Amino acid sequence: MRLGTLLRLGWDRLSAAILIAVGAVAVILGWMGVSGADLPSKQLPYLVSGGIGGLYILGVAAVLWLSGDLRDEWSRLGEIKTMLGALAGTDLVDGEVLGVVEPLRPEQAPGVAAGAR
Protein backbone atom coordinates (compact mmCIF):
# COMPACT_ATOMS: atom_id res chain seq x y z
CA MET A 1 0.00 0.00 0.00
CA ARG A 2 1.30 3.45 -0.85
CA LEU A 3 2.26 5.85 1.94
CA GLY A 4 -0.36 8.44 0.96
CA THR A 5 -3.15 5.88 1.05
CA LEU A 6 -1.91 4.52 4.36
CA LEU A 7 -1.83 8.01 5.89
CA ARG A 8 -5.29 8.82 4.54
CA LEU A 9 -6.80 5.66 6.01
CA GLY A 10 -4.92 5.72 9.31
CA TRP A 11 -4.82 9.44 10.09
CA ASP A 12 -6.37 8.95 13.52
CA ARG A 13 -3.85 6.35 14.63
CA LEU A 14 -0.95 8.43 13.28
CA SER A 15 -2.27 11.47 15.13
CA ALA A 16 -2.69 9.38 18.27
CA ALA A 17 0.90 8.12 18.06
CA ILE A 18 2.21 11.67 17.67
CA LEU A 19 0.07 12.91 20.56
CA ILE A 20 1.26 10.03 22.76
CA ALA A 21 4.85 11.13 22.18
CA VAL A 22 4.00 14.80 22.83
CA GLY A 23 2.02 13.97 25.97
CA ALA A 24 4.79 11.75 27.33
CA VAL A 25 7.35 14.49 26.75
CA ALA A 26 5.09 17.04 28.48
CA VAL A 27 4.61 14.80 31.53
CA ILE A 28 8.34 14.07 31.77
CA LEU A 29 9.28 17.74 31.45
CA GLY A 30 6.67 18.65 34.05
CA TRP A 31 8.05 16.04 36.43
CA MET A 32 11.59 17.31 35.87
CA GLY A 33 10.46 20.87 36.59
CA VAL A 34 8.65 19.88 39.78
CA SER A 35 11.57 17.80 41.03
CA GLY A 36 13.97 20.71 40.53
CA ALA A 37 11.88 23.30 42.40
CA ASP A 38 11.81 23.44 46.20
CA LEU A 39 8.90 25.77 46.83
CA PRO A 40 5.33 24.69 46.02
CA SER A 41 4.72 28.07 44.39
CA LYS A 42 7.44 27.29 41.86
CA GLN A 43 6.16 23.71 41.34
CA LEU A 44 2.61 24.74 40.49
CA PRO A 45 3.30 25.99 36.92
CA TYR A 46 5.04 22.72 36.10
CA LEU A 47 2.14 20.70 37.48
CA VAL A 48 -0.40 22.66 35.48
CA SER A 49 1.44 22.80 32.16
CA GLY A 50 3.33 19.52 32.22
CA GLY A 51 1.20 17.26 34.37
CA ILE A 52 -2.37 18.25 33.61
CA GLY A 53 -1.63 19.33 30.04
CA GLY A 54 0.29 16.15 29.31
CA LEU A 55 -2.47 13.96 30.73
CA TYR A 56 -5.05 15.83 28.63
CA ILE A 57 -2.99 15.24 25.49
CA LEU A 58 -2.67 11.54 26.37
CA GLY A 59 -6.45 11.35 26.82
CA VAL A 60 -7.07 12.86 23.39
CA ALA A 61 -4.59 10.36 21.91
CA ALA A 62 -6.49 7.48 23.52
CA VAL A 63 -9.79 8.74 22.09
CA LEU A 64 -8.27 9.03 18.60
CA TRP A 65 -6.86 5.50 18.80
CA LEU A 66 -10.22 4.07 19.91
CA SER A 67 -11.95 6.02 17.14
CA GLY A 68 -9.78 4.27 14.56
CA ASP A 69 -10.56 0.90 16.09
CA LEU A 70 -14.30 1.59 16.07
CA ARG A 71 -14.18 2.74 12.44
CA ASP A 72 -12.48 -0.53 11.49
CA GLU A 73 -15.10 -2.55 13.34
CA TRP A 74 -17.99 -0.69 11.68
CA SER A 75 -16.50 -1.27 8.23
CA ARG A 76 -16.13 -4.99 9.01
CA LEU A 77 -19.74 -5.13 10.18
CA GLY A 78 -20.78 -3.44 6.94
CA GLU A 79 -18.95 -6.09 4.95
CA ILE A 80 -20.64 -8.84 6.95
CA LYS A 81 -24.05 -7.28 6.34
CA THR A 82 -23.30 -7.09 2.62
CA MET A 83 -22.33 -10.76 2.55
CA LEU A 84 -25.43 -11.77 4.48
CA GLY A 85 -27.55 -9.65 2.13
CA ALA A 86 -26.13 -11.55 -0.81
CA LEU A 87 -27.12 -14.81 0.90
CA ALA A 88 -30.63 -13.57 1.75
CA GLY A 89 -32.22 -15.41 -1.17
CA THR A 90 -30.88 -18.76 -0.06
CA ASP A 91 -32.01 -21.04 2.74
CA LEU A 92 -28.92 -20.15 4.76
CA VAL A 93 -30.08 -16.69 5.86
CA ASP A 94 -33.56 -15.35 6.55
CA GLY A 95 -33.92 -12.13 4.55
CA GLU A 96 -36.68 -10.79 6.78
CA VAL A 97 -34.40 -10.82 9.80
CA LEU A 98 -31.82 -8.76 7.91
CA GLY A 99 -34.42 -6.35 6.60
CA VAL A 100 -33.68 -7.38 3.02
CA VAL A 101 -36.84 -8.00 1.00
CA GLU A 102 -35.13 -9.37 -2.08
CA PRO A 103 -31.63 -10.82 -2.38
CA LEU A 104 -28.81 -8.65 -3.63
CA ARG A 105 -27.52 -9.28 -7.12
CA PRO A 106 -23.81 -10.09 -7.48
CA GLU A 107 -23.05 -6.64 -8.91
CA GLN A 108 -24.52 -5.06 -5.77
CA ALA A 109 -22.14 -7.05 -3.55
CA PRO A 110 -18.85 -7.23 -5.46
CA GLY A 111 -16.82 -8.64 -2.53
CA VAL A 112 -19.15 -11.59 -2.22
CA ALA A 113 -19.36 -12.26 -5.95
CA ALA A 114 -15.59 -12.26 -6.36
CA GLY A 115 -15.12 -14.62 -3.41
CA ALA A 116 -17.86 -17.01 -4.53
CA ARG A 117 -16.34 -17.76 -7.93
Query: Tens digit of pLDDT for each residue in 14-36?
Result: 999 999 999 999 999 999 988 88
Determine the Cα–Cα distance for residues 33 and 40; give it in Å rounded to an integer.
11
Which residue numbers in the chain have pLDDT < 70?
1, 89, 93-117
Is the pTM for the entire model greater than 0.85? Answer: no
Q: How far apart, in Å, are the Cα atoms of 92 and each of 12, 74, 106?
A: 38, 23, 17
pLDDT, residue 80, reads 85
pLDDT, residue 100, reads 58
